[in-house]
Every structure is written in C-alpha cells, then in structure tokens.
Amino acid sequence: MLNIIIFGPPGSGKGTQSAKIVEKYHLKHISTGDLLRDEMKRQTKLGKEIAKYIDNGMLVPDDIVIRELQHTVKKNCDRSGFVFDGFPRTLNQAEMLDNMLICNEMPVNIVISVDVREDELLKRLLGRAEDSGRSDDNEEVIWKRIEVYKSQSLPLVSYYSNQGKLVRINGMDPVEKVFEKITLAIDTYLLNKEVLVEVN
Ligand code: C5P
Ligand code: MG
C-alpha cells in the first residue's frame, strides 16, 4: 500500500492536489471535509451536529471524524492506497491513524506539507467563497480556521518530521508547478524509499 497524507492550512490546495495525485498514482482520495459536508447536506441528526462545528470553523470531535474515515477506508481496502486530505488534523487523530488496522496494516508512508503564506490563503479562500457555497468560506470563519490550524494541526509537522515522513513543499506556485514538486517527492519515495525533506 501507498498511503499519503496531504497536509496544510485551509486554502493551501490540498483538495486540488489530492485529485491530481490519485489520478496519477491510482489511489483513493479520502477528504474528511467532504465526508462531513455530505453528512451535513443530508440534514441527519449527525449532520446537524457536525454543522455546529464547521459553520464556526472549529474542528469536529475526533470520534465523529474517525468514524466517518473508518467507514470509507473499510469500503476501499482493495485499493492500492489512500490520499488522506484534511486528516489527521490533531495529534490524537494522527496517533489513531498510526494504530488503525482496518485494511491489515496501513502505514503512513509520506506526509506532504504544503506551505502557503497567510495573505495568499485569505486571497484564495475569499476567491473560492464566491462560488463554493460553503458555509465556512467567509472572512470571519476563514480567520478562525487558520487560527485552529495553527493551534491544533501545526504540531503534526514535528510529529511526522520526527518519524522521518515529512516533506515540505512550497505551495505558493501555480497548481501545475506545485504538482510537479509533489510528484518529485512521491517518485523519490517510490524509487529509493527516501523522503525528501523539502522541495522548493
Ligand atoms: O478539510 P476541509 O478544509 O474541507 O475541512 C473543512 C472543515 O471541516 C474544517 O474547518 C472543520 O470544521 C471540519 N473538519 C474537521 N476535521 C477534519 C476535517 C474537517 O473538523 N479532520
Ligand atoms: Mg479541502
């Protein structure tokens, strides 16, 4: 199996790059944000509970997120690997993923951290807000999401770099250029089992 985490602040291009990665390497894309939003759209009791968090830019509790994730993983054990997009978001979630045995063992092979400056994040998300229809794409909630990323998700950078799995990618470039850098990191891993520290 090849399991990749695509990590980065809101607006760093995780979803866009994940779609390209799964196409090239024939992996299954799992976006926990999409799973949660689907649940919201169905207006179930759970969906309404989830909306309370998402609409305020807060993280949905681990047990809900993990349940959504496990359900989708379980249905896709026949795939050659996953791209986790927007998950894990907390140290607790990362530890749970490390211990997950749904498709036998599911080691995380490589964690791609996409770095983008804050002013650029805001610009991109406000641009997206015009047609995303997302309840959390408005300036107030965007700032909250960036803040939550810094306080709750950023510790994952040292968690994965201590495991020798983290590669930092400069995500300020256009989509195709960022993707080239990502493929360089993945191909280097596939060929040499080596995780590059940084691709600029
Ligand atoms: O990943 P994405 O940007 O689509 O996530 C949107 C929102 O979904 C987050 O701001 C958060 O409220 C919720 N979410 C979460 N935990 C995750 C993924 C998403 O709480 N692992
Ligand atoms: Mg996304």
Q: What pLDDT is recorded for position 123?
A: 95
123 is an active site residue: no
Total structural domains within the chain: 1
Task: Kindly report the backbone phi and psi dihedral angles of residue 165, in degrees, each rounded to the nearest multiple of 5, phi listed first.
Answer: -115, -5
37 is an active site residue: no
CATH code for position 161: 3.40.50.300
Residues with CB under 6 A from ligand 1: 10, 32-33, 36, 53-54, 57-60, 65, 86-87, 89, 136, 145
Of the bound ligands, which one is closest to the alpha carbon of residue 16?
Answer: 2
- As a whole number, mean pLDDT of residues 176-199 equals 97
Domain extent for 56: 2-199
State the Cα–Cα distance between residues 32 and 65, nearest whole angstrom. 7
Helices (H), the chain: 14-25, 32-41, 45-54, 62-75, 91-98, 118-132, 139-148, 155-162, 175-192
For tokens 């960022």, the residue is 178
Q: What pLDDT is recorded for position 104?
A: 77
- As a whole number, mean pLDDT of residues 110-122 equals 97
State the Cα–Cα distance between residues 55 and 157, nearest whole angstrom. 26
Q: Which residue in 20, 28, 37, 145 is the catalytic one?
A: 145
Q: What is the mean pLDDT of the chain?
A: 96
For tokens 């978001």, the residue is 89
CA of 33 to the centre of ligand 2 (A): 6
Q: Which residue in 14, 20, 28, 165 is the catalytic one?
A: 14
Residues 48-74 have pLDDT tens digits of 999 999 999 999 999 999 999 999 999
